[in-house]
């Protein structure tokens, strides 16, 4: 086993200690190993980079971080082919929450997500990938969609 050193602020250390206590880990190291194993398992679950997916990317960022809001917006415009929709919420005077709905290949969605959430000032991110079926032509999915007839309008009468 290798020994490494990491630096975390006091608030994050309290999170690790709280997780360790709640779950009964014998040490901080075991808690961190479990977190890493979980992240690794999630990464492997969507291993095929060419597979189609839809995704929800959520992240909190400090909007006062120099030029960050512009860089995030520019990145989304540069990847308009992946972006389906974005929700922007002002949490308080310092922080914003954005939720982006994305659609593309696993590799492209992950790369775009990584390019956003690794920006200085972005934190608390989560990418939720959902496998998507291959696109098929209309009517090729085994059933048809009935069109509802529009209700007939009664003719207007002069009164």
User: What residue ranges do the domains of the chain occupy?
Assistant: 7-45, 47-133
* pTM of the complete model: 0.61
Whether 82 contacts 125, CB under 8 Å: no
d(CA 108, CA 102): 10
Domain 47-133: homologous superfamily in CATH: ACT-like. Chain A, domain 2 (3.30.70.1150)
| pLDDT tens per residue across span 56-84 | 999 999 988 999 989 998 999 999 999 99
Contacts of 126 by beta carbon, 8 Å cutoff, 6+ apart: 57, 58, 59
CA distances from 139 to 70, 97, 103, 134, 146 (A): 42, 38, 21, 14, 11
| pLDDT tens per residue across span 87-132 | 999 999 999 999 999 999 999 999 999 999 999 999 899 999 888 7
């Amino acid at each position: 086993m290798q020994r490494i050193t990491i630096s975390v602020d006091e608030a994050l250390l309290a999170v690790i200690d709280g997780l360790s206590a709640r779950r009964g880990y014998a040490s901080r190291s075991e808690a961190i190993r479990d977190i890493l194993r979980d992240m690794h398992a999630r990464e492997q679950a969507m291993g095929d980079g060419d597979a189609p997916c839809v995704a929800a990317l959520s992240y909190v960022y400090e909007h006062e971080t120099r030029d960050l809001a512009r860089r995030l917006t520019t990145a989304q415009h540069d990847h308009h082919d992946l972006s389906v929709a974005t929700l922007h919420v002002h949490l308080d005077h310092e922080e914003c929450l954005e939720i982006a709905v994305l659609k593309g290949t696993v590799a492209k969605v992950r790369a775009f997500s990584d390019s956003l959430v690794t920006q200085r000032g972005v934190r608390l991110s989560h990418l939720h990938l959902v496998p998507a079926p291959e696109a098929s032509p209309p009517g090729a999915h085994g059933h048809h969609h009935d069109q509802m007839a529009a209700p007939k309008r009664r003719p207007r009468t002069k009164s």
